[in-house]
Amino acid sequence: MAGPVPMGEQTTAPSIPSRVATVSLHTSPLDQPGTGDAGGLNVYVVEVARRMAERNVAVDVFTRATSPDLPPVVELAPGVNVRHVPAGPYGHLDKNTLADHLCPFIFGMLRAEAQGEPGHYDLVHGHYWLSGKAGVVAARRWGVPMVQSMHTMARVKNAALAAGDAPEPEARVRGEDQLVRQADRLIANTDDEARQLTGFYGARNEQISTIPPGVDLETFTPGPRAAALDRIGLPRDAELLLFVGRVQRLKAPDVLIRAAAELLERDPSLRSRLVVGIVGGLSGGGKREPQLLTDLARSLGVADVVRMEPPQNRQRLADYYRAATATVVPSYSESFGLVAVESQACGTPVLAARVGGLSTAVSAGVSGVLVDGHDPRHYAAELHRMIAEPAWRARLAEAAPRHAATLGWSRTVDELLDLYRDALTPRELGLAACR
């Protein structure tokens, strides 16, 4: 079998790829978002892959096998296969140890490609730095472009650590430095992330394309709040302050609980109606301190209003959004903030930290409110206004779906396909000066 054709010597290329190798090493698209390491990245991979397949671009998603019982290949949707690659011990492994198992994962990718015809994959798209490290090797072996979405970056996270949170390891920082130099194209979720890629990692401007993620506008839609409250088991006069996401210090659910305590101190009459909903599973450092939020709520005297819920499927999650007075996203770092967009799509305004991609996900003063910093008193003041001024909240709620509608997945896939086409366009060999 002939070796790979160097990218500079390609003479033809399809207008769009016929088959893409998507790499999501550390978390499977089959996992429930909000549990373990599964979150917005998982949603992104699934939604993009489905819509790519609908446009006749087949997608194979490579992920690490976590159990010997998993079949080698699972069809996620017509044209989308999830390939489970054994790499290291089965079971959950800490992300910081997965770099030690990159070699068997890469070998698994190469074996899968070797079973097809030459040129089986036209392009590799990596998600998160570990996936990128594996994807670069495969892309170079196959002679195809390597496109990388970082989703989060170590230097960015380390610059905005929550109190008590551990910094990202130096091995990840070095790995991301190498990946930025090796990837053919980098995808930033927002202009802010593009600036971080250049400022923190020295990425070249011409290497970066800014393509916002989307939201499922068919599942996340507005609906009657009273009926949604009924369906999730809350009284119709409840004021639900909602947090959705992985329970870890980075996402700052403690800020919402502290804000609720401030809110009740400001207006004790709210206690009979106030509900703080924390919807999500323990993740990262949160697994080492599983009682952190319940102990905090107890110490602040608000345990009676805090309701801890496991991750929900998308239909049920949409009801939580519709039922909420506000969705609160107080993260210390967010590459985009998919939860904020889902909430707005359901007609519920968002109160979020002014960090990272949340400045794009939320239209400040129109579909929600952005807060500088993480002082619970500032969050409490805005939440009190949403409750005490229903006409103002209603204006935010009315505008929220319109803002979310500008961020549908169809737009994301349109722009990704344009990027793929450009990455596949043969480059000039630069030989004119030699003639």
> Which CA distances in Å does 14 have to 10, 119, 141, 351, 420?
11, 12, 19, 44, 10
181 in a labelled binding site:
no
What's the angle, vertex CA 353, arms to CA 361 and CA 348, rounded to 5? 55
**CA gap 420, 422 in Å, rounded:** 5
What's the angle, vertex CA 180, arms to CA 177 and CA 183, rounded to 5? 140
112-116, 269-273, 297-301: segment of lowest average pLDDT: 112-116
128 in a labelled binding site:
yes
66 in a labelled binding site:
no
- Which one, of 331, 316, 228, lies nearest residue 275 by Cα? 228
CB 118 within 8 A of CB 142: no
32 in a labelled binding site:
yes
CB 300 within 8 A of CB 276: no
95 in a labelled binding site:
yes
CATH superfamily of domain region 7-213+410-427:
Glycogen Phosphorylase B; (3.40.50.2000)
Could you tell me how far CA 93 lies from the centroid of its own chain? 20
What's the pLDDT score for residue 118?
86
What's the pLDDT score for residue 1?
38
Tell whether the model's pLDDT for residue 435 goes beyond 90: no
Q: 225-407: same fold as 7-213+410-427?
A: yes
8 in a labelled binding site:
no
342 in a labelled binding site:
yes
Tell whether the model's pLDDT for residue 342 goes beyond 90: yes
Span 66-101, pLDDT tens digits? 999 999 999 999 999 999 999 999 988 888 889 999
322 in a labelled binding site:
yes
26 in a labelled binding site:
yes
Q: Could you tell me the pLDDT band of residue 9, with boundaries at 50, 70 and 90?
A: very low
Q: Could you tell me the pLDDT band of residue 4, with boundaries at 50, 70 and 90?
A: very low
309 in a labelled binding site:
no
CA dihedral 13, 84, 217, 317 (to 10 degrees): -170
250 in a labelled binding site:
no
What is 225-407's CATH topology? Answer: Rossmann fold (3.40.50)
User: Given strand 350-353, what is the order of strands in its sheet?
Assistant: 306-309, 274-279, 239-244, 326-329, 350-353, 368-371
172 in a labelled binding site:
yes
425 in a labelled binding site:
no
Tell whether the model's pLDDT for residue 161 goes beyond 90: no
Q: Could you tell me the pLDDT band of residue 284, with boundaries at 50, 70 and 90?
A: low
In the chain, what are the domain boundaries? 7-213+410-427, 225-407
Buried b (16+ CB within 10 A) or exposed e, 378-414: bbbbbbbebbeeeeebeebbebbbebbeebbbeebbe
Q: What is the pTM of this model?
A: 0.85
246 in a labelled binding site:
yes
**CA gap 289, 401 in Å, rounded:** 36
CB 134 within 8 A of CB 21: no
